[in-house]
Amino acid sequence: MTTNTDDSQPRHFLDVDDLTEAELFTVLDRAEEYKRALETGDNHADLEDQTLGMLFQKASTRTRVSFETGMTQLGGHAIFLGEDDIQLGRGEPLKDTSRALSRYVDAVMARVFKHENVEVLAEYADVPVVNGLTDDAHPCQTLADLQTIREQEDGFDGVSATWIGDGNNVAQSFALGCAMTDIDLTVATPEGYELDEEVLERARELGGDPTTTTDPVEAVSDADIIYTDVWISMGQEDERDVRMNDFEGFQVGADLLEHAPEASIMHCLPAHRGEEITDEAIESDQSIVFDQAENRLHAQKAVLSWLLE
């Protein structure tokens, strides 16, 4: 979490709790407005002639396409900056990249491995920096997740969500988002794959009280939302055999879903069908996976326009 008390400095979005609860709902409301604007054909070029620099160390489908399309729809422009396409790949310090980009673009989105890298970008940038994913957090995904849940459940009151699988970056940001919206969250992970204790403490400080368990069947009972992600993230490929063994019993499929036949299924994608989730589950009537993917576009447009106001 970053805290910026100097009004002369840009606001950054490095994790969900960089927003206050009121600001979070402002962004979610704006995301809904942008979604309606697309449906009705209303012009919403709120970032006309502005440019987003998109810095990628990790491969992406949804992040790149949704940010680039979003900037176009907002009347602006996005530039893809792969690590090997710029001087960063030749050893330029991040602080130099950040200061140079600040002279050219109106905002920076960075999808990188180490969370400290986006913190360095933000420290030296004169423009807003948005975390497009790090190994510790994925706040843009959480915005889309919350928008999707609010649409599906007609609000957040009384909603119960269950995370199944690895307590990874997506899970950690989602836990904070649930705490900020009063979603009752249960997290089911194998031993050794729990959410970071510091994240759980932040969730408690935000008013949440996540339940943690190693029993996925217990976790999904009475759940409105069941959310999972890959067991083997980018950079963990050498752990595949160990993880496949450790996550046995945590697959979101028929065996688990018979204990929650009315729950909506979420996945941030890409999915390893047949591992953390079955093909049948993603393709079922319970799945809202692709509504969730679409909402990346609307939520990111909302946070960009809010940051650049």
87 among the known binding-site residues?
yes
Please tell me whether residue 304 adopts helix, strand or coil conformation. Answer: helix
- Per the residue annotation, which of 150, 166, 229, 298 is the catalytic one? 229
Tell me whether residue 73 is one of the annotated catalytic residues: no
- 36 assigned binding-site residue: no
Say whether 103 is catalytic.
no
**Catalytically annotated residue among 11, 12, 30, 111:** 111
- Neighbouring-strand partners of residue 55: 81, 110
Let me know if 298 is a catalytic residue: no
103 is in an annotated binding site: no
Let me know if 138 is a catalytic residue: yes
Q: Is 236 annotated as a binding residue?
A: no
Select which of 11, 138, 267, 298 is catalytic.
138
178 is in an annotated binding site: no
Catalytic (active site) residue 273: no
Question: 10 a known binding residue?
Answer: no
Per-residue tokens: 169: 């970056």
For this structure, is 178 an active site residue?
Answer: no
139 appears as a binding residue in the annotation? yes
Catalytic residue among 50, 178, 268, 292: 268
The verdict on whether residue 264 carries a ligand-binding annotation is no
Ligand-binding site membership of 160 (annotated)? no
182 is in an annotated binding site: no
| DSSP codes, 52-109 | EEEEESS--SHHHHHHHHHHHHTT-EEEEEETTTSGGGGT--HHHHHHHHHTT-SEEE
| Burial call 230-258: b when 16+ CB within 10 Å, e when fewer | bbbbeeeeeeeeebeebbeebbbbeebbe
Instruction: For 17, list phi and psi in degrees, rounded to 5.
Output: -80, 10
Name which of 71, 127, 60 is nearest 97 in CA terms.
127
Q: Which residues are part of a known binding site?
A: 60-63, 87, 111, 138-141, 169, 229, 233-234, 268-269, 296
Residues annotated as catalytic are 111, 138, 141, 229, 268, 296
Q: Which residues are part of a known binding site for L-ornithine?
A: 169, 229, 233-234
Q: Which residues are part of a known binding site for carbamoyl phosphate?
A: 60-63, 87, 111, 138-141, 268-269, 296
